[in-house]
A and B are shown apart, each in its own frame.
Chain A
Amino acid sequence: MSTSTASHSLKPYFLVFSALLGLTVLTVALSYVDVGRALGLSGSGRAANIVAGLVVALIKASLVVWIFMHQDHEEGINRFILGFSVALLTLAFLALSADFLWLGTYVKAAAGALVAGR
């Protein structure tokens, strides 16, 4: 259950480290490419790049949480705490995105005024 006395191999840490380096290179490389056009989604603007960047960041985050932070063999209660935090975070971001997708005009005008207003 817990990692209290576990004395496992160091190899996974070096593998995760290499993967994180590789994914960092990938993220930077993606920022120089129009991902939407490369996938044949013309007119998607920067949305495809934003999604691709966040997906890579999520993969990196999962590697850190699972291997470096030992959630692969952590107690159930700690998985619940982590899962609940991530669920709340996702809910908050989905609610914000929903505002932009379905109440678009009004919210964008309000936020746009904020951006322009300095």
Chain B
Amino acid sequence: MSDEHHATLSPSFHAERRDLRAMGMWLFLGSEVMFFTAFFGAYIVVRSASVESIVHPLDKVLGALNTVVLITSSLTMALAVAWSKRGERAKTGWALLATLALAGVFLVVKGFEYAHHFQEGVFPRSDIFHGFYFLLTGFHGVHVIGGMISLAILWVRNRRGDFDEHYNDPIEMTGLYWHFVDLVWIFLFPALYLL
């Protein structure tokens, strides 16, 4: 995995390889958009048929808290990418760690919410709103876990010295993915908790 010869490669090679990786990542994110479109679309149909009948059972405060947590993690991720491009390895490490920790906080809050639902006897099959709630937040949560695995690997690799100002594509590509996970939540929060 480590790229020991990268220091000897020409700058244009790095730039071209980075652009190809970015294109692959955007294509992947495009497929992710379609994945969430399907479930969101189904949710729109169900909600449109019963706009007045669904009373919001979710805790707005916890939802808003998790929104702030994810937005903050997007900031620390953006900083990690920027610092890695400047070759500031220590700062990059701290920013990656902060992003990982905030992702953990998000999952803990979500876990408390799930536990509360289960204690109250609310499950995915309880009603169609909760069916969609668990489906959408569940798939989003899996994306958060995937991001955390990637962030942990990046932190180790950064510490080991795999990245410098010429080669930091994995951090940048994980950044794109992480911002996408934040994006999905930006729509999930109002759609499920507020509207």
Contacts and interface: CB of A to CB of B under 8 A. Distances in A.
Contacts, number: 161
B99 to A, nearest CB: 12
Interface of A is mostly: helix
Contacts of B45: 96, 99-100, 107, 111
A10 B95 CA distance: 13
A52 to B, nearest CB: 9
Given A6-B85, A78-B26, A118-B128, A96 B41 contact: yes
Given A5-B11, A24-B68, A13 B33 contact: no
A82 interface: yes
Contact of B49 (A28, A65, A82, A115): A115
Given A54-B187, A86-B33, 18 more contacts: A5-B85, A7-B86, A13-B79, A17-B74, A21-B71, A31-B60, A31-B195, A56-B190, A57-B190, A75-B22, A85-B29, A85-B30, A107-B49, A111-B49, A115-B46, A115-B49, A118-B127, A118-B128
Interface of B: 11, 14-15, 18-19, 22-23, 26-27, 29-30, 33-34, 37, 40-41, 44-46, 48-53, 60, 64, 67-68, 71-72, 74-75, 77-79, 82, 85-86, 127-128, 165, 172, 175-176, 179-180, 182-183, 186-187, 189-191, 193-195
